[in-house]
Structure 1
């Protein structure tokens, strides 16, 4: 990662928060279809039910646990963006859900719901890829598949699908709510993220470091 000046860091932060906003928009659409929750939510729902705590506290507890695990096995994966994602994701998702609540996606036919669901998976994948491409950090539960794929030399999409399916199965056994959308999301999001990620990484790198190509010209003029 190149050393950033203030202008370049500002550009990355803009893309970072845009990524968070896009992800939560996709999640809000996903929830609005009312045909399932995302795999991680199913897991936190089940754990919260088993322990007799609220889903919000369960989510915070699991996220914190993942953070500790990551610090043990791959400390370099944690940076300021991880903290920003943890702090900002909640307010963003609450805002997006309140906006989509009045659209009543759950009142549409199943075919339309499925179209919205696929759209939400694409949106989530774009937002996540944008977030990852800034190299500022992602939420702890999303770092886990990157660490596993790196350590075991496996494709990210394979690890992501395996982890999402595990979340769904364990969450369901613990009492989490699973719908057809949950299964589709678990199988679709990983491959979509792998498709968008390299393209967005190249785009953001070009935009953020676009001023670097001017430096040699400036040096020639001063010489």
Structure 2
């Protein structure tokens, strides 16, 4: 007769595997959306302007720049008291990796027609919204940049809008100073990315406030208790 404890543990493992598959799918789609907006060649989003400028300065790829900045932000978030989830760590490492994979293998096309490029940018933002829904929905922690926004909002007691605007304007200015590209697409994404994410959340009736995230520290404590 199969032990009940074995069945429970096996079911728990299967559920965790499913969660991580969903997480990785969401992060891969996020990278697809990012590369679509980059390959539209109409100007980059504020953070990508910063990543591109960093890539040009240090002769690395945009994906590598994304990973490096993500690591720095996660360390900063941790120092400031923001809890880190497995999704946070996966976001930190995998989105940049996936971006480089897509760009090096030319899996996302580049077009010359301005209308097609605009459509590509819009669709890229839609993909980013879907990706956010998927990876946040698993409840394994927010991305490094979202975590930074959250912790600064808590520390400064300012609104999310003010903190997010301050962060994105700051990285945009630094990005331009070190060689990042801006254009009409930068303005479009700054104005519409929030709309697309909110639209996807509304369509799928996704309430982010109802998501209870699981954090790395809790799992580590659980492991220690089992020893």
TM norm structure 2: 0.71
**Gaps in structure 1 of 5+ consecutive residues:** 206-223
**Gaps in structure 2 of 5+ consecutive residues:** 1-10, 212-227
What's the Cα RMSD here? 2.9
Determine if the alignment matches structure 1 residue 175 to structure 2 residue 182. Answer: no
User: Contact 2:67 / 2:93 at 8 angstroms: preserved in 1?
Assistant: no
d(CA) in 2 for partners of 1:150 and 1:5? 34
The number of residue pairs the alignment matches comes to 194
In the TM superposition, what is the alpha-carbon distance from 1:192 to its structure 2 partner? 2.9
Structure with bigger helix share is: 1
Query: Could you say which residue in structure 1 is the equivalent of 2:125?
Result: 121
When structure 1 is superposed on structure 2, of 132-141 and 67-76 the one drifting more is 132-141
d(CA) in 2 for partners of 1:150 and 1:197? 24
Query: Could you say which residue in structure 1 is the equivalent of 2:76?
Result: 69
2:140 to 136, 143, 146: 136
In the TM superposition, what is the alpha-carbon distance from 1:161 to its structure 2 partner? 4.5
d(CA) in 2 for partners of 1:154 and 1:8? 36
Q: Call closer, same or farther: CA 1:113–1:29 in 2, change over 3 Å.
A: same
Query: Could you say which residue in structure 1 is the equivalent of 2:225?
Result: none
Query: Could you say which residue in structure 2 is the equivalent of 1:10?
Result: 17
2:37 to 17, 27, 30: 30
Determine if the alignment matches structure 1 residue 20 to structure 2 residue 27. Answer: yes
In the TM superposition, what is the alpha-carbon distance from 1:22 to its structure 2 partner? 1.2
